[in-house]
Amino acid sequence: MRSSLLLSLSAAIVTVAGHSPTAKLNGVTYNGLYKDQVEFFWGIQYGQDTGGSNRFKPPKPFVPEHGCTVEATRPRAACPQEKGTNSLPLYLGNITEISEDCLLLNVARPNGTTASSKLPVMVYIHGGSFVAASKDEPASQPGGLILQSVEIGRPILHVALNYRLGVFGFAQSEALNKEGSENAGLRDQRLALEWVHKNIAAFGGDPSKITIHGQSSGGLAMGMQTVAFGGRKPAPFNQIIAQSQVLEGGITGNFTRDAMKRVTNVTSCNTTDVQSPATIRCLRGLSTSDLLKAQLDTYTSGPQANIGDEWLPVVDGDFLPAPPSELLATGQHYNVTTMIGWCEDDAQIFPDPLPSNASAVRQYFRQYLPGYTEQNLDHLLNLYPISDFHSSYFPNGTIQVTAQGYRTGRILRDIALTCQPFYFGEALAKSGNDVYYYVTNQTILTPILNHYGIYGYGKVHTSDFAYMFGNLSHYDIYDLPFHPEPADYALKDRASRSWASYAALGYPSVGGKGTLEGWKKGDNKDANYGVYVMGGPNEGYSGKGGKKATVEAMKLQKLQDRCSFLNRPDSIKQDGY
């Protein structure tokens, strides 16, 4: 039975019937379209309009009229954010249409899928600092991933969703807390996940096999959804993949409260206390454009503003009943198979400008870690001696990036993107869940970064996209330089097949299927935590039994020494999560 299904799916990739793909759900017909050699259903509404009196409030399910036909053939609006191509070179999207009526999702599936296919489901939650991007980001379109899943006989169905951003999705105040309206963006995500769990069978998905995955702030969403409600309510997913973030400092801090004050102060709502119900009523009365303008006009970045991650989740006593670290430490989380990773030079692109001397480095982290004691700040910096880092140079001998610049990037990477995953993974493993770690050590972004005058930054944030989504060609856009090498095409196949295998089987390496080879579970007691190195000259498992070159190269990063300090209870408390 299964082999005949796979044959029909493979054949459908070559020959597609003349009619559009359809799905029937609760008396409603959804018409889709063919794109990238797969079937898409675009812009399916899962939540009601969040504007007007619904602004800031928990989302309400959208129920289409019984007997109607939904033409799911265009993406529709993104949630309110700045329009244009404002996230280049890391993200490729061009936001042209925004609306508060934006709680939409896309479904993509192999050609020939039917309601009886029961395919494993992957649900993607996009990143963008909780202020930008959408389900339609070109770099994260799933066509290549789906095709590779069919190629190895493990076809998957993919969903991507919008959720509220910025002040619209992460507003905080005492008044909002009392009415249960904080963490609106996370609640949007949860509603979408519940929609998928309840309805995806009609599109050919298996609700008992749902993997959620996300990158950057979408990776943070993976962490927040895993500890949602302290794990008390039934989980609408079984597995997670968190890329380049899973937790974040500042959640128990004041970054978002400060941003909220600045937004309120530049509007007509500044005559009452920002914590009061009157201020929230006033903000709800503003037009979408006026509220968005206030957010954009007062947005700040830099280390003193959490590198731009100002709009954060909050401990509201409901969705997040306690700080995330406490929920993890006390077992108040869902038990889910977990994959977590980052890029080798993930955070190198964030400090702007890069500090170039020891004093500037210290000042940078003094601002970035406002809760750290002087003693802990000194301890942190001493774990990264300048002798571990070396400047890079242009061919003419001038400096590309100073050793102190690389030192800054590595410290920031370990704080925000590497050591927190080990803390998260250890908690999940202690509860009996399989946990896998990886680092991406290859990129096609170098020519694009050079095009923007950025040299020597290495394998930066989003470098894994092209490979795990199987989408090298999506970077051939806007006349940007596009020069993938044979090694990039090969890694694209291995990585996307491993992601599909993980979704289908719960582990990423499958013999004879062209996946990443020898990827074993993580080991928090190992010197290298059992991290799998994806791409580059030393690809392979860095834990016990791994290739000597891979193990020794990873040891140079001193992960145990550095992360043991960063994951100490006092460090976590001072980091604010």
Catalytic site positions: 216
Half-sphere exposure for 518 (CA within 13 Å, toward CB):
16
63 burial via Cβ count (<10 Å: 0-12, 13-18, 19+):
exposed
Cα separation, 540 vs 157, in Å, equals 28
Nearest alpha-carbon partner for 448 in 474, 488, 482, 478: 482
Nearest alpha-carbon partner for 333 in 252, 413, 423, 415: 423
Q: What is the dihedral of CA 61, 248, 181, 99, to 10 degrees?
A: -60
Is the C-alpha dihedral spanning 495, 533, 440, 336 positive or negative?
Answer: positive
Cα separation, 242 vs 216, in Å, equals 8
The residue with tokens 């801090």 is: 253
375 burial via Cβ count (<10 Å: 0-12, 13-18, 19+):
exposed
Cα separation, 264 vs 283, in Å, equals 8
Q: Give the pair of three-digit tokens for residue 552.
A: 């020794």
* Residues, the chain: 577
Strands 392-393 and 435-440: unpaired
The residue with tokens 């970035």 is: 368
Helices within 272-418 (DSSP H only): 277-285, 288-298, 324-329, 358-368, 374-382, 403-413
Q: Phi then psi for 324, rounded to 5 degrees?
A: -55, -40
CB 199 within 8 A of CB 25: yes
Instruction: Report residue 161 CA to chain centroid gap.
Output: 12
CB 187 within 8 A of CB 93: no
Q: Phi then psi for 401, rounded to 5 degrees?
A: -135, 135
Cα separation, 220 vs 233, in Å, equals 20
Nearest alpha-carbon partner for 419 in 559, 220, 225, 277: 559
Which residues face 401 on adjacent strands?
A: 392
**Nearest 5°: CA angle at 136, between 103 and 215?**
90
CB 226 within 8 A of CB 334: yes
- 8-state DSSP, 276: S
Cα separation, 169 vs 167, in Å, equals 5
